[in-house]
């Protein structure tokens, strides 16, 4: 199976895409669905999110610059959605600085779009492989810049793919780099999250526990995917 990390949106038509915003949007979506939410709607603009959540009577969550949007009831910490026994709704509308945008763009172009994170690396690798399509790993990054933790997430999924595919995936150079990065941090994923620019920023905001949560490799056996504008299992 051919896999690529380096691809423009227009080049992923017909691909199974896996989107990574490990800190924290895709980890938060994965956690919310594992906790019992049925649908998570990724929305780009805060105003649009407020209106939409009101219209469909969904819970509302959002972050800008790593901090909860002041008038929103929830921020973008995965821990706000775990455990699921204090869930106030079945549907969640989420807007974040980079992750929700990457999911929207990928799902406009790819044949199928999965949500990837360390939390569900194995499950999402299996689900993407089962589509039989070429696989593209989409790293959201932070404000247009490369993010260490997203390439690390892609690398962990690639290591899982290598473990289950019948033959060795044909990888582009960035996929090879992602695999080597994941091999480097395999015994200390949290260190990989701590060492990136956005990880350091979140630690500065007192979100250390979020990093610890997002660093749990294969905590969940779920492969969330985009379907009609929302993410579900």
Per-residue contact flags (x/-) with ligand MLT for residues 104 to 133, judged by CB under 6 A: ------------------------------
Cα–Cα distance measured from residue 28 to residue 30, given in angstroms and rounded to the nearest whole number:
5
How big is the CA angle at 225 (ends 166 and 66), to the nearest 5 degrees?
A: 115
Count of other CB atoms within 10 angstroms of residue 148: 22
Decide if residue 25 touches ligand MLT (CB under 6 A).
yes
CB-based contacts of 120, cutoff 8 Å, min separation 6: 30, 218, 219, 220, 221, 222, 223, 224
Radius of gyration (C-alpha) of the chain in whole angstroms: 16
To ligand MLT, the closest distance from the beta carbon of 130 in angstroms equals: 27
To ligand MLT, the closest distance from the beta carbon of 46 in angstroms equals: 12
Of 43 and 129, CB closest to ligand MLT? 43
Decide if residue 194 touches ligand MLT (CB under 6 A).
no
Of 62 and 122, CB closest to ligand MLT? 62
Of 68 and 87, CB closest to ligand MLT? 68
Pairing of strands 2-4, 16-20: unpaired
To ligand MLT, the closest distance from the beta carbon of 76 in angstroms equals: 4
Q: Segment contacting ligand MLT (CB under 6 A): 20-28, 78-86, 111-119, 223-231?
A: 20-28
Decide if residue 192 touches ligand MLT (CB under 6 A).
no
Cα–Cα distance measured from residue 104 to residue 172, given in angstroms and rounded to the nearest whole number:
24
Decide if residue 21 touches ligand MLT (CB under 6 A).
yes
To ligand MLT, the closest distance from the beta carbon of 208 in angstroms equals: 13
Whether residue 24 is preceded by a cis peptide bond, meaning omega within 30 degrees of 0, is yes
- Window 48-107: residues binding ligand MLT (CB under 6 A): 63, 66, 76, 96-99
Cα–Cα distance measured from residue 194 to residue 139, given in angstroms and rounded to the nearest whole number:
18
To ligand MLT, the closest distance from the beta carbon of 94 in angstroms equals: 9
Q: Are 16 and 128 in contact (CB under 8 A)?
A: yes
- Kindly list the residues in this chain that would bind ligand MLT in the complex (CB under 6 A): 21, 23-25, 63, 66, 76, 96-99, 202
């Amino acid at each position: 199976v051919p896999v690529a990390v380096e691809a423009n949106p227009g080049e992923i038509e017909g691909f199974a895409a896996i989107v990574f915003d490990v800190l924290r949007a895709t980890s938060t979506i994965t956690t919310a669905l594992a906790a019992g939410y049925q649908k998570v709607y990724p929305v780009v603009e805060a105003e649009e999110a407020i209106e939409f959540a009101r219209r469909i009577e969904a819970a509302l969550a959002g972050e800008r610059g790593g901090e909860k949007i002041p008038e929103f009831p929830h921020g973008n910490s995965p821990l706000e959605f775990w455990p699921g026994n204090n869930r106030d709704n079945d549907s969640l509308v989420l807007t974040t600085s980079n992750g929700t945008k990457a999911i929207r763009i990928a799902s406009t172009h790819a044949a199928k779009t999965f949500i990837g994170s360390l939390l569900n690396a194995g499950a999402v690798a299996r689900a993407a492989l089962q589509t039989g399509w070429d696989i593209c790993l989409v790293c959201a990054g932070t404000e247009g810049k490369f993010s260490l933790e997203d390439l690390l997430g892609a690398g962990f999924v690639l290591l899982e793919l290598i473990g289950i595919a019948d033959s060795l995936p044909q990888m582009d150079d960035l996929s090879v780099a992602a695999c080597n990065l994941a091999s480097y941090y395999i015994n200390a994923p949290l260190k990989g999250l701590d060492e990136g620019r956005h990880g350091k920023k979140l630690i500065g905001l007192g979100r250390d526990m979020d990093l610890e949560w997002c660093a749990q490799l294969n905590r969940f056996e779920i492969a969330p995917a985009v379907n009609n504008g929302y993410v579900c299992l």
